[in-house]
Amino acid sequence: MDLLFNLNQVHAQTLAIGLLTVILILVFDRTRLHNFSMLLAMAIASGAVLVFGWEAVEQVGDIAQIPEGLPRPAIPDLSLIPELIAPAISIAIIGLVQGAGVSKAYPNPDGDYPDTSRDFTGQGAANTVTGIFQGMPLGGSVASTALNVSAGAKSRWLNVFAGLIIVVVVLLFSPVISLVAMPAMSALLIMAGIQSIKKEEFLDVWDEGWGPRIVMIVTFAMTLAVPVQFAVFGGVLLSIFVYLVSSAQDVRLMEIVPLPDGTYREQPAPAELSSNSVTALHVSGNLFFAAAYKLQEMLPSAKGVERAVVVLRLRQSTRIGSTFVNLLEFYDEQLKAGDGKLVLAGVSPQVKEQLDITETTRDVLGDEEIFLATDILGESTRTALAAAHAWLEQDSEEPE
């Protein structure tokens, strides 16, 4: 019974300090001292532990020893590289992923989002210096950033000044830091996390569909069950999987029919081609990986069709994958089996370069069957259609 009473007493005291910290933060947030609300709340709550003599409440000094001086530089033990290379890569990836997430969640004071590449460079430089001084790996932290913003931070210079202040505090007030109550720190982080929640962005993600909803819910559940770095890493992997699945379905194939006034009408692509005809198709969406196989199912069948020409418009595609290149070669072979051919229109210089590198233009599609995109919308398509009709008419007039 005495042990149970002591446990209940510890829990009650811990809860009281946590609630006191939350109340003080809410009170100070409504005063002129709102920029210092979290610091004042933590200091007062920690002082309450000393005043009431609640020795059972855990303090920073109970879990870690605060050094009275700065760490000295040391040469890393290079013999540990083979053993630590895999964990180091994992930690680096997780740190960069968290940093990228923080960068996109908190814009600069001018409203623009920071350059992620520069953030990565800064993290790399910081980790290099930290390693020399025997420090722990650094990375982007959602909780720390939310805490900084809640404290009134206006720019990334806060981290520089905070580092300088910590140096002074460690050198002069390390015994005081040991007296900070852990429940107060926990309450502070909880409040920072709550204040960082953006209802509008949450609703935007929810309204985007089941894919983003699943990623958000699973990532949130993982943060409650596993360390946050693994939750973030798992959320990223799940996002990649959802993206690949959705992008495979996000491919569209439409037939474009020229009208007398020079415009085009879109309509669903036919299931089969007609003999002695020219069919213009417009493809849009992701043309990588599984999307290429999806497109293959959507292309009109060329089996048993004679002298059919397909003009495939790629105006919206700046890059194509090897799977799509193989699809072009396969479809061209099907058309040529019936004395037809495949023509590409609206081809960007990047796509043309890929076709040249894969030798598709040499072995399958000739340069005369590829029409590069121009600054005038629809010009290459009209030119390709005119060339296709001319080829079809010329071929039909040739004597047998």
Q: Would residue 171 count as lying in a domain?
A: yes
Residues 160 and 16 in one domain: yes
pLDDT at 112: 73
Q: Is the pLDDT of residue 184 over 80?
A: yes
Residues 45 and 185 in one domain: yes
Q: Is the pLDDT of residue 169 over 80?
A: no
Residues 30 and 130 in one domain: no
Residues 262 and 331 in one domain: yes
**What is the DSSP secondary-structure string of 48-71?**
HHHHHT-TTS-BHHHH-PPPSSPP
Q: Is the pLDDT of residue 248 over 50?
A: yes
Q: What is the span of the domain harbouring residue 383?
A: 250-397
Q: Is the pLDDT of residue 350 over 80?
A: yes
Long-range contact list for 357-366, CB < 8 A, 24+ apart? 358/322, 358/325, 360/325, 360/328, 360/329, 364/328, 364/329, 364/332, 364/333, 365/328, 365/332
Q: Would residue 146 count as lying in a domain?
A: no
Confidence of residue 15 (pLDDT cuts 50, 70, 90): confident
Q: Is the pLDDT of residue 247 over 80?
A: no
**How much of the chain exceeds pLDDT 90, in percent?**
2
Chain centre distance of CA 334: 39
Residues 291 and 206 in one domain: no
Residues 209 and 352 in one domain: no
| Cα separation, 50 vs 342, whole angstroms | 83
Residues 44 and 172 in one domain: yes
Q: Would residue 187 count as lying in a domain?
A: yes
pLDDT digits (tens, 9 = 90+) for 106-122: 776 666 777 778 878 88
pLDDT digits (tens, 9 = 90+) for 328-343: 888 888 888 888 889 9
Confidence of residue 369 (pLDDT cuts 50, 70, 90): confident
Q: Would residue 147 count as lying in a domain?
A: no
Q: Which two tokens stand for residue 300?
A: 């009109």
Residues 333 and 261 in one domain: yes
Q: Would residue 5 count as lying in a domain?
A: yes
Q: Is the pLDDT of residue 58 over 50?
A: yes
CATH number at residue 347: 3.30.750.24
Residues 158 and 14 in one domain: yes
Residues 207 and 101 in one domain: no
Residues 298 and 178 in one domain: no
Higher pLDDT pick, 275 / 106: 275
Q: What average pLDDT does the structure give for the chain?
A: 80
Residues 231 and 349 in one domain: no
Give how many domains the chain has, as a whole number. Answer: 4
pLDDT at 147: 67
Confidence of residue 150 (pLDDT cuts 50, 70, 90): low
